[in-house]
Amino acid sequence: MQGLRPQELAEIIAIDRKKCKGCDACKAFCPTDAVTGKYGAVHRVDGERCLFCGQCLVNCPFGAPQDTVDIVDKVIARLKDGRTTVVAAIAPAVRVAVGEEFGLEPGALVTGQLLGALQTAGFKILDTNFAADLCIMEEGSELITKIRHYALGEAAGHAPGPLPQFTSCCPAWVRYAELYCPQLLPHMSSAKSPLMMAGALAKTYGATEVWRTNPENVFVVGVMPCTAKKFEASRPEFASAAAYWHKRGSAGSYPDVDVVLTTRDLARLLKKLNINLTAAAEFSDADNPLARYSGAGTIFGNTGGVMEAALRTAHFVITGQELAALELNPVRGLKGVKAAGVTLRDAKTGREITVKVAVVHGIKENLGPIVDEVVAGRSPYHFIEVMNCPGGCVNGGGQPINPMGTSWLDKYKAILPWS
């Protein structure tokens, strides 16, 4: 398949032809027109265009699109084999959603029970909020370098990528850029996503310092609101732990993150193990530093979260002061894009610069004009956060499917058969 390397998962999302009614609804949600099929006829996903974001899956009224990568039994086998240290790296958006699969109100925050349930199942915990903090530090300092270089005219040790800087933690967005606007790739933050950082961390520091085991015995399971993360984990460049140990003389090749469970997969796994989330014991792992985190990462799963956190870091480094409340305002004429300007006074030189940031959630609806500006070289922004899913990861393609959800209320125009 075009653009996919042998290790990479292909066709994560496929439409069950027995269930598909050909109603066209999914087309209104697909960011890349990857769903093909005439009105009435069975629809198909074109793997060469698909971002694996799962938006079609969570929005189809007939449950036809399927997540074909089912590794629940594989994870259970690892949990039970007595040899493997199975580490769960849990994304923020999972903990507000997984309760729904156990009959709780949508949006109920169940962090304590979730971690408790995972512990009962035999997982070690690595909170991706912790890794998100790392990611924010990385993206923030990268942004600082670029601002100092391009806006404040300081020399940089190496040529930093061009501004504006795009966030790179949404794998659907990264694949979108690779497939549809490769000229933007130099603008991408070079920081990898929190999950990929978590995987590398688990198989280096975590293995030797926390769980005291051979890195090859560590099996990292991402627990994500996202089907595209399954793809991200399969990308061959994410094997930095193995590369790290290679340099230190040990052989072995393994990915940083072995598999990804979506929120739905996780609920299935817990149910298979007869663990009831609502009755799970509270989590206790006080001496595991990787299970602790700052508040900054918690907003990662929300729109604007990454950007705001990184901006806070940059603000602090450049001005020496904490950023007061950041207010993102809708950009006039661009529905679904929010922006803010923050004036920073460089503590070193006293020079002032207004850093402009934007947040785009929902590639399908909102990305176009922002990308066009960047390509044309007239983007007013320094830093742009892009999340594929409308509203961000809380509405990710791996989340529980809410049968009464009308997240699609404004979609009708796009799918009217005569349009």
Partner 1 sequence: MSHDSDGPRVLKHPLSSRLFHWGLILGFLPAALTGFVLWLKPGSDGFVNLAMRIHIGAAAIFTLSAVLYTLLCLDRVVAFVRRIFSYDDRDVGWLLVGGGYPQKMFLGRKIPVPPMGKLNSGQKMMGVAMLFGGIVLTATGWILYAFIPLAPKAFIYWADQLHLVVGIVLGLSLFMHIFLGIYNWGEFKAMFGDGTQPLAEAEDHNPAWVAREIEPVQKAAGGRQLPA
Residues that bind ligand SF4 (CB under 6 A): 13, 15, 20-26, 29-32, 34-35, 43, 45, 50-56, 60, 62, 64-65, 170, 172, 225-226, 228, 387-389, 392-393, 396
Please give the helix or strand (H or E) that residue 142 lies within, else none.
helix 128-146
* Given 21, 149, 268, 345, the residue binding partner 1 (CB under 8 A): 21
* Given 156, 281, 347, 416, the residue binding partner 1 (CB under 8 A): 416
Those residues whose C-beta lies under 8 Å from the C-beta of residue 102, and which sit 6 or more positions away, are: 267, 276, 277, 278
* Given 4, 9, 10, 23, the residue binding ligand HEM (CB under 6 A): 23
Those residues whose C-beta lies under 8 Å from the C-beta of residue 415, and which sit 6 or more positions away, are: 24, 25, 27, 28
Instruction: Annotate each residue in 302-341 with x if it binds ligand HEM (CB under 6 A) or - if it does not, as one string.
Output: ----------------------------------------
Q: Considering the candidates 138, 142, 308, 385, report the single residue annotated as catalytic.
A: 142
**Cis upstream peptide for 164 (omega within 30°):** yes
105 is a contact residue toward partner 1 (CB under 8 A): no
Can you tell me the distance from the alpha carbon of 139 to that of 192, in angstroms, rounded to the nearest whole number?
Answer: 9
* Given 4, 16, 21, 271, the residue binding ligand HEM (CB under 6 A): 21
14 is a contact residue toward partner 1 (CB under 8 A): no
Q: Considering the candidates 30, 60, 170, 393, report the single residue annotated as catalytic.
A: 393
Tokens 């560590």 label which residue?
218
Residues in the chain: 419
- Choose one: 17-25, 91-99, 170-178, 355-363; the region binding partner 1 (CB under 8 A): 17-25
28 is a contact residue toward partner 1 (CB under 8 A): yes
* Given 40, 236, 368, 369, the residue binding partner 1 (CB under 8 A): 40
39 is a contact residue toward partner 1 (CB under 8 A): yes
Order across the sheet with 259-262: list the strands. Answer: 124-127, 85-90, 218-224, 259-262
Active-site annotation holds for 229 = yes
42 is a contact residue toward ligand HEM (CB under 6 A): no
Size of the site for partner 1 (CB under 8 A): 29
DSSP, collapsed to helix, strand or coil, labels residue 72 as helix
Partner that binds at residue 406, options ligand HEM, partner 1, ligand SF4, none, CB closer than 5 to 8 Å by kind: partner 1
DSSP, collapsed to helix, strand or coil, labels residue 344 as strand
Distance (Å) of CA 265 to CA 32, 108, 371: 25, 18, 34
Nearest to 319 by CA among 188, 140, 193: 140
Q: Considering the candidates 27, 146, 203, 229, report the single residue annotated as catalytic.
A: 229
Active-site annotation holds for 53 = no
- Strands (E) across 209-292 are located at 218-224, 259-262
Active-site annotation holds for 154 = no
Cβ atoms of 297 and 130 closer than 8 Å: yes
Can you tell me the distance from the alpha carbon of 179 to that of 198, in angstroms, rounded to the nearest whole number?
Answer: 26
Active-site annotation holds for 232 = yes
Those residues whose C-beta lies under 8 Å from the C-beta of residue 297, and which sit 6 or more positions away, are: 92, 127, 128, 129, 130, 131, 132, 133, 136, 194, 309
Measure CA of the first residue to CA of the last residue in the chain; give whole Å.
31
Rounded least distance, CB 176 to ligand SF4, Å? 9
Partner that binds at residue 415, options ligand SF4, ligand HEM, partner 1, none, CB closer than 5 to 8 Å by kind: partner 1
Partner that binds at residue 136, options ligand SF4, ligand HEM, partner 1, none, CB closer than 5 to 8 Å by kind: none
Residue 214 structure tokens? 């051979």
Query: Which one, 222 or 390, has the nearer CB to partner 1?
Result: 390
Q: Which residues are catalytic?
A: 139, 142, 169, 189, 229, 232, 237, 393
Interface contacts to ligand HEM, rule CB under 6 A: 21, 23
Interface contacts to partner 1, rule CB under 8 A: 21-23, 25, 28, 37-42, 59-63, 401-406, 408-409, 411-412, 415-417
